[in-house]
Amino acid sequence: MRGLDRTLKLPGGEAVAQFGLGTWRMGESKARAAGELAALRAGLDAGVKLIDTAEMYGEGVAEEIVGHAIAGRRDEVFVVSKVYPHNASRSGVAQACARSLKRLGTDRIDLYLLHWRGNHPLAETVAGFQDLKKAGKIRHWGVSNFDVADMEDLFEAGGDGCAANQILYNLGRRAAETGLFALCREHRIPLMAYSPLEQGRIPKSPVLAKIAAAHKATPAQVMLAWVARHKDVMVIPKSTSTAHLTENIAAMDLVLSVDDLAQIETAFPAPKRETPLDML
């Protein structure tokens, strides 16, 4: 199966692409906007079927860029966006979603996430999400940056309908493996790994270099393949150049051997005890 054709299932059974395009830090500079739009369009042209954004990114400008990218091809793309915690009251979620829909130029968001936990009661946020789902404004809802205790509180607040949890996860950020992975798998909730390349800060590791050379790949591709080895984890690296986009997409076809994984485990070990989730 071609890397871009790899999918995973949401709790309700819908298949969603495992690889997507991240947009964090897009929309922050008018000078870069044209290049950012071109990169998203190139990704869609290459067959990418998922884009992740948020009202926080560029204070809405990233959503506008995504809207331009998906114009005329909305049905090809699974769109993910996120609501600020301070907008996550029952009525606030509805108002924030309306603004996001306008910026995105669409009538629905496929997956709408609470960006991180804030002061509004989770039961209010969940009720707001359920209202939006009933109205057809969103198709699924979920959370982001939720650790084990947060997820447990979410379930107690009536959040059994959570479809995904987006977290910081990469070779150097493995706290999720100490408890969150198991909990989400128990509830069949997939994870979305943001910053799988640690925002481009690729470790200068002899192990990564050696494995990359053996596969005629790059260390960045090894990092992405390592995250994507989990069949229930979406990978959403950001790319603002065609070269990086091509490199990231090709990483989805890279299969690491048992020996590769053992070497990586030795060089980048997971925490040995339960560790709080990292967040950028």
Complete domains list, the chain, with CATH = 7-203+232-239 (3.20.20.100)
**pLDDT(33) > 60:** yes
Tens of pLDDT, residue by residue over 194-206, are 999 998 888 999 9
Q: What would the mean pLDDT of 255-267 be, rounded to a whole number? A: 98
The pLDDT value recorded for residue 280 is: 84
Q: Which amino acid is at 202?
A: I
Beta carbons within 8 Å of 256's beta carbon, 6+ residues apart: 211, 215, 222, 225, 226, 229, 264
Q: Over the chain, what is the mean pLDDT?
A: 97
* Separation between Cα atoms, residue 11 and residue 20, nearest integer Å: 19
Give CA–CA dist 53/111, Å, rounded: 10
Minimal CA–CA distance to 40: which of 77, 13, 5?
Answer: 77
Q: Is 21:53 a contact under the CB 8 Å cutoff?
A: no
pLDDT for 1 equals: 56
What SS3 class is residue 161?
coil
CA–CA distance from 264 to each of 168, 171, 185, 197, 275 (Å)? Answer: 18, 8, 23, 15, 20
Q: What is the pLDDT of residue 240?
A: 86
**Which residues contact residue 205 at a Cβ distance below 8 angstroms, ignoring those fewer than 6 apart?**
219, 267, 268
Catalytic residue among 57, 112, 169, 194: 57
For the chain, give the number of residues: 280
pLDDT above 70: percentage of residues in the chain: 100
Which pTM was predicted? 0.97
Active site residue 194: no
